[in-house]
């Protein structure tokens, strides 16, 4: 029994080392610029096949890195939803989207790589769907989006879709840029992740509540 426990602990430690190395390397260099051999070496593994043995394909490794963080973010978002239940204020629901992410990043210490990892993965066509699938698997995130939609003004469907995409990119890349600056000891607009979350939420609320200009199809883009 003791031998089996020791083996399990060793396997878990190896997997954690690989996940940490992969997250950092993918964040700094991009997913497909990094080989499994490089991940294994960075994780202190003499066996270059360690990544494949423990995780399978690179897509499986990316999913495992994402799930390493999404569980805690889900817990934080559930807590935020409890505090926001019944609110009709757009800002409250925006905070349910933003603050679980920034609180998670703040709790990781410094430096962190998760925000930049997400930014790298989301810009890769072959891996983008993995992050989308993981997001859709989050009941708390779906509830936050539904709550936000109930409080938004009446927007044309195409405007709502367009602004939703803008919001996703704004959260993703604002967090990634702040994370990069902190890792490089560069100046940041806010001293803390909490203050950064407030500024980000202000921008998102303004985006959602901005007036909608009359739209005309650009030349050559008419649907008729």
Output the pLDDT for position 11. Answer: 80
pTM: 0.89
Burial, 25: exposed, middle or buried (Cβ in 10 Å; 0-12, 13-18, 19+)?
Answer: buried
Q: What is the pLDDT of residue 2?
A: 63
Domain assignment of residue 214, yes or no: no
Whether residue 49 is found in the same domain as residue 63: no
Query: Residue 221: its pLDDT value, please?
Result: 45
What pLDDT, on a 0 to 100 scale, did the predictor assign at position 6?
67
The CATH number of whichever domain residue 21 belongs to comes to 1.10.10
Q: Print the domain residue range for 100.
A: 58-209
pLDDT under 50: residue ranges of the chain: 217-224
93 and 152 housed in the same domain:
yes
pLDDT at 7: 67
pLDDT score recorded for residue 144:
97
pLDDT at position 224, please?
42
Please check whether residues 115 and 20 belong to one and the same domain.
no
One domain for residues 45 and 78: no
């Amino acid at each position: 029994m003791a031998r089996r426990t020791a083996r399990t602990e060793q396997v878990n430690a190896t997997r954690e080392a690989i996940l940490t190395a992969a997250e950092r390397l993918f964040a700094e260099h991009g997913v497909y610029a990094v080989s499994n051999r490089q991940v294994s070496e960075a994780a202190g593994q003499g066996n270059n096949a360690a990544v494949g043995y423990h995780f399978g394909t690179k897509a499986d490794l990316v999913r495992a890195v994402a799930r390493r963080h999404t569980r805690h973010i889900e817990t934080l978002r559930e807590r935020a939803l409890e505090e926001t239940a019944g609110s009709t204020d757009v800002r409250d629901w925006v905070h349910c989207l933003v603050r679980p992410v920034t609180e998670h990043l703040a709790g990781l210490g410094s430096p962190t790589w998760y925000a930049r990892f997400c930014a790298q993965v989301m810009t890769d066509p072959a891996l983008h769907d993995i992050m989308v699938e993981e997001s859709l698997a989050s009941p708390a995130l779906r509830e936050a989006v539904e709550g936000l939609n109930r409080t938004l003004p009446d927007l044309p469907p195409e405007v709502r879709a367009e602004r939703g995409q803008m919001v996703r990119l704004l959260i993703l890349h604002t967090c990634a840029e702040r994370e990069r600056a902190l890792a490089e000891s560069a100046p940041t607009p806010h001293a803390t992740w909490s203050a950064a979350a407030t500024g980000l939420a202000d921008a998102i609320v303004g985006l959602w509540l901005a007036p909608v200009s009359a739209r005309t199809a650009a030349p050559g883009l008419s649907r008729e």
